[in-house]
A and B are shown apart, each in its own frame.
Chain A
């Protein structure tokens, strides 16, 4: 039981690191980025290739940096030019980009599943009362907490964080005060993409890499963002933890409903509170 809860936390931590990026992007650009799962997948595959040459830690850093660059490009080339158009267009374009990314990954890395070796430093096992748990999985939980803590400190206390909060609440009002909302958005999309890439690398040692990994986690991340309240980090954090637990416990107690349960919860929350758990604010 304890192990299940811990595994739920592991999945929750990964979900949050992805969903936080999605939430921030939605807050600033009011866009739904269907390519977010693809960024996560690209991060994982890039990390895999880098790790085979340089090891895990350089792979984590370089992959996150590469994805930050890709995120900046995505914002400048796609989100910004399309921001005043029908939101459906961005949705379709990012969906298309996700398909392209999947194809690119299949072309470069093939259809076989790969796996990335975890760093030796975290390869151990901790003894818990009655069972044991891999250190690496605890490190993933710590990674999620680090992302949550880092993001909230950044938003609360930095100058750019103030601009991000202002712009997510009302982009025009923020811009009228002189905030270059395009630059802030570029930065936020880059950070979100870097987090997605880093999550991919972090998840790679416990999952097998396959082109389908993008779609699997994307759906759950969207549910986290929607249920948490579009654009809200606190809401996303709480929802990611809950969804992580549901996902793992559900498999134990009600395997036939687990796949549906997140959707049921999403619909329930949206009926009860259409703005999500935390309303619409970062």
Chain B
């Protein structure tokens, strides 16, 4: 089976600074994969390469087998990849509802629409006309995830979604992500929060200095072993 997302020896740069030095990993359809790694090892650069924000200077990225040539910021979304970016990327000049509608920009068909997102997160309906950034951190994370779902993605990528959230909110996030998984959504979770990773992901890759240095099954790897890849 061709993987949904495949990075093959990807090299990426910001200006002249090379950050990814031959990163290779893949995510199969229906899988739930985590990328672990310390601060600054290039985790966000992995997604920024999909957008062309970091320049792809070597290797190939394939989406469902198709190479991504000349990535632009909208390429990933158009190819069916929704990214909930680090920091959430809520637009403050748009209302909650408008932020969600923006997620449907690609007009991809599927089970998700405004009504279903409101059913998943009723608070978003209650605050529909508030500016997106008037929400609390946890609610903004709901908005960012809901917006990602509005695109009816084949692959949902989340970059450190638990950052800045209280543990009970992270618990709720884990429940929702597992529900999405059960419904068949493929998930790539970039995280340092092991309790979330352990509940949501099956496989993991460890990124260090722009290379994948370890990989395996979450269930077969002890917490201490995983911790070693994240702790400073």
Contact = CB atoms under 8 A, between A and B. Distances in A.
Interface of A: 159, 162-163, 165-166, 169-182, 281-282
B102 to A, nearest CB: 5
A212 to B, nearest CB: 38
B190 to A, nearest CB: 15
Given A162-B102, A166-B102, A177 B94 contact: no
B92 A169 contact: yes
B77 A178 contact: yes
A180 B102 CA distance: 12
Contacts of B94: 162, 165-166, 169
Contact of B73 (A166, A169, A176): A176
A180 B147 CA distance: 17
Nearest to A172: B73
A119 to B, nearest CB: 39
A181 B105 contact: no
B74 A181 contact: yes
Given A162-B101, A169-B94, A176-B51, 17 more contacts: A162-B102, A165-B98, A166-B93, A166-B94, A173-B89, A175-B51, A175-B74, A176-B77, A176-B83, A177-B77, A177-B105, A177-B147, A178-B74, A178-B103, A178-B106, A178-B151, A282-B93
Nearest to B73: A175
A177 B78 CA distance: 9
A71 B75 CA distance: 25
Interface of B: 51, 53, 72-74, 76-78, 83, 85, 89, 91-94, 98, 101-103, 105-106, 147, 151
Contacts of B102: 162-163, 166, 174, 177, 179
17 contacts: A162-B98, A169-B93, A169-B94, A170-B89, A172-B51, A172-B53, A174-B105, A175-B74, A176-B77, A176-B85, A178-B74, A178-B78, A179-B74, A179-B105, A180-B78, A181-B73, A182-B72
Contacts of A181: 73-74
* Chain A interface SS verdict (over half): helix
Contacts of B73: 171-172, 175-176, 181
A197 to B, nearest CB: 29
Nearest to A281: B93
Contacts of A172: 51, 53, 73
A163 B147 CA distance: 14
Report which residue of A162, A170, A171, A178 has the largest number of chain B beta carbons within 10 angstroms of its beta carbon: A178
Contact of A177 (B53, B72, B93, B103): B103
B51 A177 contact: no
A179 B74 CA distance: 6
B74 A173 contact: no
B92 A176 contact: no
Contacts of B91: 166, 169-170, 173-174
Contacts of B77: 175-178
Contacts of B76: 176
A175 B151 contact: no
A178 to B, nearest CB: 3
Contacts of B78: 178, 180
Contacts of B85: 176
